[in-house]
Amino acid sequence: MHFKDYAVQQGEPAALKCPILQHYHLNFNMASNLSLHLTWYKNDSKNEINGVDSRIQAQEDLLWFLPATMDDSGYYACVLRNSSFCIEVAISLTVVKSNDVALQDIAYRQYIFTLTSGYINCPDLNDFITNDRDLDLRWYKESVPLPQLSKKFEYVVGSNKLNINDVSPADRGFYTCELRFTHRGKRYNITRVIQLQTIDQEKRSHPVIVYPNHKTIEAVLGSKLIIPCKVFTGFGRHSGTVVWWLANNTLVDRNSFHDSRVTEGEFQKITENGRNYIVVQLIFVETREEDFKTDFKCIAKNEYGSQVLPTQLRKAASAFSWYTVVVPAASICLIVGVLCLYKCRKSRAQKDYIQAKL
């Protein structure tokens, strides 16, 4: 199953995609033919979101915000059910004001090595375009428009990429890509903020931990929790990098820590836009008080170097009985071995639904 957090600027469109159909290799029509119905709710509300002409619209497996406002921030549940089966997944939406501090919090982190030519990409646009010809992007660095063709920067026509030639440390910083989007005759601007970090050539093979990117992570007491450690390993073949978790300087293996309540997930190798990553998840079957007093560390190491990233849990309130931490402001989707799918709340239907397991 693909978990994702969404973040958008106030006044811009947002489209939340329910991951359930994709996981079961279904489209909306196939689900309808199987008498499966998809519905959307916000937080713990019993009121279904089904507006067609309203600002918030449920259209097949997408929940549209045209546009998003600050009050839209929160969790949204997509529910797939029939008479005897029900799956519910929550998706987070964060709406921020258009100021430098807020935009840095939702920036997509991308990496390029110095002394080479590379590119950055404008992520998460698929739901706003029908084909690549619609990709008419404008690029900015630190709010200054970039020319479409220069010795340093080059737009790639029909692509979401911006080429950067002869990369140097001076090229790091915040870039913004802008797409014009028209819906029912009304035009919107869709922007994505990318934080570019450059890596010196001598550290080309060093592992770089890109998430967690905060020293504290919010979690709900009693909830299920997944924290992925995502490590950038370069552009070529996957290196011999190893990644693992520590809890109070003790190894978190798959069987021993806290009576198997906290375990490590599978070692995953993924590639995004030509960039290689390794992901190892820290999985809490249930968060308890002791977890908020535990020092967790993600460690990445290969023959060229290592990096250690400490993190701690911080209590948070939530309307849902589970919580999944995913890479925010990132384009990756993490495939987990055991999906956090749960019984739908009986208050929404007077039937006993089975728990869905994969």
- The CATH superfamily label for domain 5-97 reads Immunoglobulins (2.60.40.10)
What tokens appear for 278 in the block? 């390794």
Q: Are 63 and 71 in contact (CB under 8 A)?
A: no
Map out the domains of the chain as residue ranges.
5-97, 107-202, 208-315
Domain 208-315 CATH (choose: 2.30.30.790, 3.30.70.1450, 2.60.40.10, 3.40.50.300): 2.60.40.10
Walk across the sheet containing 62-65 and list its strands. Answer: 14-17, 62-65, 56-59
Residue 239: per-residue pLDDT: 66
The runs of H, that is alpha helices, within 49-126 are 100-105
Which residues of the chain carry a pLDDT beneath 70? 1-4, 44, 51-53, 100-101, 132-134, 202-204, 214, 236-239, 254-259, 273, 317-358
Residue 100: per-residue pLDDT: 66
Same-fold call for 5-97 versus 208-315: yes
Architecture of the domain whose range is 107-202? Sandwich (2.60)
Q: Are 229 and 281 in contact (CB under 8 A)?
A: yes
Return d(Cα 257, Cα 282) in angstroms, integer: 11
Give the pLDDT confidence of 234-275 residue by residue, as tens digits. Answer: 776 656 889 999 998 888 875 455 667 898 888 888 887 677
Burial of 289 (0-12, 13-18, 19+ CB in 10 A): exposed
Query: Is the pTM here over 0.85, yes or no?
Result: no
Residue 152: per-residue pLDDT: 93
